[in-house]
Structures are given as C-alpha cells and as structure tokens.
Amino acid sequence: MKLISVNVATPREVSHEGKPVRTGIFKEPVRGRVRLGTMNLAGDSQAAREVHGGIHKAVYVYTLENYEYWKRELGRDELPHGQFGENFTVEGMSEGEVHVGDVFRVGGAMVEVTQPRQPCFKLGIRIGMAEFPRMFLRSGRVGFYLRVLIEGEVGAGDRIERLKVDPRRMTVARIHALFNFNRQNVEGARKAIGIPALSPDWREAFQRIVEEADRNPRGNIGCCNLPT
C-alpha cells in the first residue's frame, strides 16, 4: 500500500443551478511533506464544516484502482489526482480490503478508518455530471474517511502499513452496502454499532435502524436520514 498523492484545497465559490455555492472539493496535489493534524491536512479546508472535515473525517481516501474504473465508465483518458475530492490518493486500499476500525501508519502519522463516504451534489459539480453522485453511490467505489490518532508529516511516496485489523472485520464495502442497500439486515446493523471506531453519525444511523426494527419486528424498515 502506498500514498500516491496528497491533495488539498481552500473553498472556492462556483455556480450550481444558477446559484453560488462554496466548496472545498477542488483538491489539487501538493509537493513535499504536509503536516497532518487531528482536524485536517495543513493547507486544506472545508466550506460546510457541519458535514465535512472534523475529527472523524480529517482525511478522505480514494484508491487508484477506482480511478481506472471511472476512466472506463466515464470514457475519460485522464483523471487528475484529487478529482474525487480526496486528500489521499492511494494504491492498494480498496473498499473490499479495508475495514472500518483498521489502523494504519502513513509517513509520520497514525490513522484509523471511521466510515465510508456518502456523496453529495458537490461531487457532481466536480465531475461535471449532476447524476454522478448516484452513479458513485451505486458503484460501491466510495472511498473512506480517517481519524488521526497520531499527528505527523505525510508525503507522496510514503508507504502505508496496516498496524491493526478491526476484529469485527466489517469492510468499508460492507458498511456502505448495509446502510444504502440492505437496511433489512438488522443483525448487520447491530454488528456495525459495535465498532468503536465508527463515526458518530453512522453509528446513530445504524442505531435508528435497530431501534425501528425492535419497535416493529414484523414491519418494514423505514428510511432514515443519510449520514454524510
């Protein structure tokens, strides 16, 4: 596993459906080593801090293998690093191989996987396709967020070492599928709640699924608000 590119941005204003929108999704690669703190990377910022960034979403990670998939799907020969709004473009860290709760060393920092990404309309702005967030969600190639356990400097070319595998072994792909496409799997939701590293928003979302099932054991699981 390897860190291929470190990408940051400060918020900019763009037009969306005739209205101004501020977004920090236009990440671009930076040279040299960058300080990774508990809230974000040096030089990076978010426009909507109530749903982006913070302790449980300090870093967003997306893998090169997904880039190859989207090149084929979108018919684009080139997609620059940071195209999906990620802070870390990595190699060898697919959603089916990384578990929520896994701990990694990257450069001088130590990080922990907290949740999959739930895309919003701003990803469509970045790609230039309003329908892209739905395509992204259905693909399962959503990437994941990290919490910073130990601050440190990181840079392109750093080796990424897995230090701990969460004992529940619930992959990012499974957590994503459970919430978005398999809410009838209440036992899966119960298991997800037991992952200490799972971010609070996702834990609360799964908790609502479990509570609704407990109240109405013979009924259908209703819809609840999506975590971000």
Selection from 103, 100, 93, 113 nearest residue 169 by Cα? 100
Measured from the Cβ of residue 226, the count of other Cβ atoms closer than 10 Å reads 14
- For residue 219, what pLDDT is reported? 56
Q: Which domains does the chain have, with CATH numbers?
A: 2-185 (2.40.33.20)
Q: Which two tokens stand for residue 29?
A: 């690669």
CA atoms within 13 A on the CB side of 94: 10
Residue 216's pLDDT is 81
Two tokens at 126? 């970045």
What span, in angstroms and rounded, lies between the C-alpha atoms of 213 and 219? 8
- Split the chain (228 residues) into runs of 10 and give each run's mean pLDDT: 96 87 93 95 74 85 97 95 97 98 98 97 94 97 98 98 97 97 94 97 96 78 54
